[in-house]
């Protein structure tokens, strides 16, 4: 059911529970029995997409390279998932949605902290700011870029390009070739 919802919502982010049920080959009541509300379904979809992101991040980190190259690969992965799952823009702004979003970010933040600490130790990144602060700022940049896409003020490509530029500046890295 969840896989069907992810596929359908990637094509039609506004699809309702009845359409999800039809896509999954079950009744609407079955979908409601598992998820209760559309918000609960969207949170389950976001959790699944986060799991996919973490698996892709594992693979990206296994490819080695500098901390900077790895960080940029991770951002590219995030944008590809964001672009292929526009339903992520619909996640609610309720307190429970914010709590769920924070919980989803914890493993990502832990990974980024280790990566930034590695980059600081190797001299790739400015060693002065605390890594945890840099991670919070990098995540906030990603959210700001996503908000710009959601508000139709930037394309995904533009937002990814500017997020990358801002991240490099934040980390104290000189300009690099633009764009993912």
Domain at 45-170, CATH class: mainly alpha
Q: How far apart are the first and last CA of the chain?
A: 33
Residue 47 pLDDT: 86
DSSP 153: S
**For the chain, give me the number of helices (H) and strands (E)?**
8, 0
Q: Are 125 and 172 in contact (CB under 8 A)?
A: yes
Residue scoring higher pLDDT (70 or 99): 70
In the predicted model, is pLDDT for residue 109 greater than 70?
yes
CA distance 120 to 117: 5
In the predicted model, is pLDDT for residue 51 greater than 80?
yes
Residue from 57, 53, 46 nearest 6 by CA: 46
Confidence of residue 94 (pLDDT cuts 50, 70, 90): very low
CA distance 70 to 56: 12
Mean pLDDT of 86-111: 70
Give the chain's mean pLDDT: 86
pTM greater than 0.85: no
Q: Are 1 and 34 in contact (CB under 8 A)?
A: yes
- Give the distance from CA 97 to its chain's centroid: 15
Bin 126: left if φ > 0, else alpha if -120 < ψ < 50, else beta. Answer: beta
- Give the distance from CA 6 to its chain's centroid: 15
Q: How far is CA 131 from CA 9, 17, 67, 168, in A?
A: 35, 42, 13, 14
In the predicted model, is pLDDT for residue 116 greater than 90?
yes
Residue from 44, 79, 74 nearest 156 by CA: 79
Confidence of residue 61 (pLDDT cuts 50, 70, 90): confident
Bin 65: left if φ > 0, else alpha if -120 < ψ < 50, else beta. Answer: left
CA quadruple 61, 64, 67, 72: dihedral sign:
negative
Q: Give, for 18, the enclosing helix (H) or strand (E).
A: helix 17-24
């Amino acid at each position: 059911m969840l896989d069907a919802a992810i596929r359908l919502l990637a094509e039609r982010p506004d699809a309702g529970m009845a359409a999800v049920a039809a896509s999954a080959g079950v009744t609407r009541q079955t979908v409601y029995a598992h998820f209760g509300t559309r918000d609960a379904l969207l949170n389950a979809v976001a959790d699944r997409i986060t799991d996919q992101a973490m698996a892709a991040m594992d693979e990206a980190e296994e490819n080695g390279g500098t901390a900077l190259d790895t960080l940029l690969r991770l951002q590219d992965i995030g944008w590809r998932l964001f672009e292929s799952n526009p339903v992520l823009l619909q996640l609610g702004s309720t307190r429970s949605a914010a709590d769920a979003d924070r919980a989803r970010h914890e493993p990502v933040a832990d990974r980024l902290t280790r990566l930034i600490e590695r980059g600081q130790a190797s001299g790739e990144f400015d060693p002065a700011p605390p890594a945890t602060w840099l991670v919070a700022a990098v995540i906030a940049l990603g959210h700001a870029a996503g908000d710009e896409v959601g508000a139709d003020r930037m394309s995904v490509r533009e937002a990814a390009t500017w997020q990358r530029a801002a991240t490099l500046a934040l980390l104290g890295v000189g300009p690099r070739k633009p764009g993912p």
